[in-house]
Amino acid sequence: MKANQIIRRPLVTEKSTLLREEGTNVIAFEVDPKANKIEVKNAVEALFKVKVAEVRVFNVRGKVKRMGRYAGKRRDWRKAYVRLKEGEKAPDFIEGV
């Protein structure tokens, strides 16, 4: 898989913003469900030109949502928390959020 297929989008949530502000140097991404930790690490290093110290990935189950009387389900997805090495700076698009 190519790097831009593995990293789908950065997750900008209250939790991910707090992690970044605490000085832990952690960035959250939605990644391809088939991607493993090594592929996520290589993709982040290739796309953003940073060094990765640690990757934690886990699956998020889609919620059941109703549309009138019909129940549907949102898709399952995979989340990755990527911790950058000491001295590395988060990409600019994340700093401005």
Residue 94 in any domain: the answer is: no
**Start-to-end Cα distance in the chain:** 28
Determine the pLDDT at residue 94: 65
CATH number at 24 reads 3.30.70.330
- Measured CA to CA in angstroms, residue 4 lies from 40, 54, 61, 70 at distances of 10, 19, 23, 35
- 């088939």: which residue's tokens? 34
Name residue, tokens 């640690």: 54
Single pTM value for the model? 0.86
Determine if residue 21 is left, alpha or beta; phi over 0 gives left, psi from -120 to 50 gives alpha, anything else beta: alpha
Distance CA 97, CA 84 (A): 18
pLDDT level of residue 96 (50, 70, 90 thresholds): low
What domain range is 56 assigned to? 3-85
Which of the four pLDDT bands, split at 50, 70 and 90, describes residue 73? very high
Domain assignment present for residue 72? The answer is yes
Question: Which range (16-20, 52-56, 85-89) has the least confidence?
Answer: 16-20
Do 52 and 26 form a contact (C-beta atoms < 8 A)?
no
Do the domain assignments include residue 90? no
The mean pLDDT of the chain is: 91
**Total number of domains constituting the chain:** 1
Is 92 within the bounds of a domain? no
In this predicted structure, what is the pLDDT of residue 21?
80
